[in-house]
Chain A
Amino acid sequence: MKPAPFHYHAPGTEGEALALLAELAPEEGRILAGGQSLIPAMALRVARPAHLVDIGNVPGFDRLTSEDGILRIRPCVRHAALGTGTVPGPLGALLETMRGHVAHLPIRTRGTFCGSLANADPASEWCLLAATLGSSMLLRSVRGGREVAGEAFFQGFMTTALAPDEMLVEVRLPLLAETVRTGFFEFSRRAGDFAQAAALAVLELRHGAIVAPRLGLGAVEDRPRRLPEAEMMLEGRAPSAALFREAAAAARAGLLPMDEDSYRLDLAETAIRRALSAATGVPE
C-alpha cells in the first residue's frame, strides 16, 4: 500500500501556490494540506495525483481569527486548533463538541478544517457545520477570488464549487450570540468512525418557543444540507418530544439518501430528534 509516484512542490507563498495550481491542475495536480484524507486514498491507490502542492509551509495559512462577529479559518488550521480555547462563545463550544467526533486525536493534529470542506465527504462533521450555519467560502485562483455561500458550496458526492485551479483560502463562520443554543448528534459504529447519520441544530428559545432554527443533516444524503421542511415546522413552537418527532418525520419525507435503506432513514430521524433535544434541553 505505497502511494504511486508524484512530483512534490512546496510553495512558500499563497501566490506561488496558486500559480502552481494553475499550471498543474490540468495535469492531475492537487493540494496537500493535512493529508489525512488524501494520503490514505493514495496508499490505496484510488487517488493518484501526478503533482502535490504542499501548502503546509505558507506563513499565515494556519491563522485563525475572530473579528467583527466572523470566525475566519485559513487553509492550514488543524482540527485540533478549533475549540473553546481559540473561539469564543457558543460557536467555540460547538466546535469543541463536534471536534471530538472528527476521527481521532492523532488525525486531528494534522487534518485541516478547510481540507475537510474541500474533500466534501458527506459524513464530515465540518461540512455539516458549514452547511448549517450561514457560512461563506473564499475561493481563489490566479484568475481572481470569489465568495461562495455555504449552501452553494457542496454540490454533490465529494463535489464542491471549487474549480480544479482554485484553492479554498478561507472559510467564514458567524460567531454565535450568547443566546444561541446548539445541539449535535452523530451515530457511528465505533468511536471515531465515519458517521452513518449526523444532525446539527442551531436555534434560540424566546418565551419558550423556538426561534430562527437551523437544522442540518449529514452522512445520509450525498451532501450535508439544511432541512427546510423541518425548520418551518419548528419555527415558533415550543420544544417537545412530539415536535421533534414531527420535524424528523417531515425531514425524512424529503430526503434523498445515498442508501435506500429504511434503517439509514431511521438513523436520520433519531439524529434529528437528538440534536434538537440537545439544543433545547428537552428530552426526546
Chain B
Amino acid sequence: MRKHVLIIARGIIVCCLLLAMFSACTPQSSGNTDPLHDPGTQSAEKTEILLWTNQRADLVFREEKRAAFNNANPDLNVKMEVFTEDYATTLELAVASGQAPDIFQVLNNARYYLDRNMLQPLDKYVTDDLKQRYGNLFMIDEVNTIDGKLYTLAERGITFRLIYNKDIFEAVGLPGPPKTTEQMYDYAKQITEWGRKDGIYGYAMQLKSTASVGDRVIDQTARRNGFFSYDFINGKFNFSVMKPILSVYRKMYEEGIMFPGIEGLEIDPLRTQFAAGKIGMYINGNWETAIYAENGQFPTKCNWGAVTIPGIGTENPSGKTNINNAGKSWGISISSEVPDLAWRYIEYLLEDDYLAEYQEKGYGTIVVPSAAKIAKFPDMIGAEDFAMKDTLDMIWPVSPETAGLKFEGKNAYDTYAAIILGAVDIDAALADLTSRYNAGLNAGEKDGTVKRVVIPNFDPTK
C-alpha cells in the first residue's frame, strides 16, 4: 500500500514539474520586448502595436521617438523589435506561424511580399495631402506599388560613397581621394605598404555578407559608371560587364593589399577597425554619418570623408548610383488586427518633422519632397558628402532578380565573392551567371512569375 502511495506521489511530482515547464514554456510577459504577446489585443487601456525593424544604426533615435509617441497617445503602446541577423528568415517564419508583427520594415520590392501574402494595401489611408507631400515619389511601380495598389511609402534613401580616412591619406602623402579604380588600387597599395607593420591596410570589405558587398560595392560601382548587370534596354542579363570592377578587387586580394580576413569580416567589425584608424578606404552608405559621430555606435577621432565612387578608366564617370531603399519604408502586415492604429504610427514615422529631425541628426537622407525641403544637413562629418545630388544619385528601375526571379545555383553575390577571393575564373564564372540568370528569366516569364523589364531608351547618365 505504501509503495502505491509512493508511486502515485512521484507521478504527481513529475506531472507538476512537467506542467510547470509547460507553462514556463508558453508565452509570458517578461522584459520590455515581448514578441509572444498577441499583437493588437485589446487590454484594458492600451492597444499594442508591434513593429519590427532590421536597422540598428538609428535605433537610439527611433526609441526616443517611440517613447514620445506612447506618451502622447496613452491609448496606444507601440513596441519595437530589432532583428539584424536573418531578418528575412525571421520575418518569413513569423508570418508562416501567424505571429507577424503589425508593422515591419519593407526591404524588398513589393512583389516579394505580394507573393508571400504579407502586406496590406494602404490605399484607403491615402489622403490628398499625403499625395501632395510625396509628389512623384508617391507610387513607384514594382517598388511599392503593384497593379495600382500601394503597399509602402518612400521615406529615406541610402546614398553610397567611397569613405576614406583623411589622416592616413595625409600621412602617406597621397594627393587626395581616388577618382578612378586604378587610383583606388594604387593608393590602397601604398597605404598597405606604409602601414602594414602598424596593422593599417588600404582597403577593406565586409565579404562575410556577400550580398552586402555585392549590392553596395560592386553593383553601385557599376551603376556609377552607367551600366548594370541587367541590360534594361534589351531586357536581359549580362554579367560580363562587371569584370573590370571585380578584377580590381581580385588583384587587391591576391596581392595582400586588402585588410586581412575579409572573408570573415562583417560590416560592424569593419567599422570598428575604421574607427580605430586601421583602414584606408571602403565603400558604404550614409549610415556612417551617425555611426562615427560622438554618440554613435563607433565614435571615432579620425578625420574621415566621403567622395563619390571612383570611375572605371575615367575621372568623371557619368552614371549615377542607386538610392537604396528609396520608395520603401514601413508596411502593415496582412495579419494585423489593428491596421488603422498601425497606420497612425506609420503616419507619425513619416511626418515631416520626424523625417527632418532624422536627417538633421545625421541618420540618413530623407527623400520625401516635403520633408527634404525643410530638413537641414547636420554639421557632422559626412553629412554633406553623403547628401543626395542629382548628378550622383538616382532611383534605378527594378530589375528582375529583385522581383521574384528563380534561378539555379549560386547567386550573383556569392559568385562575385568567389571571384574576388580568386576561387573561380572570372570570365567563366560571369558567363555562367549570365546564362543561369537568363535561363531563370525565360522560365519565369513563361509561367508568369517574373516580368521581363524592358526600358528601350533607358539612360542612367541623365
* Pair from one complex: no
List chain A positions with a Cβ less than 8 A from chain B: none
List chain B positions with a Cβ less than 8 A from chain A: none
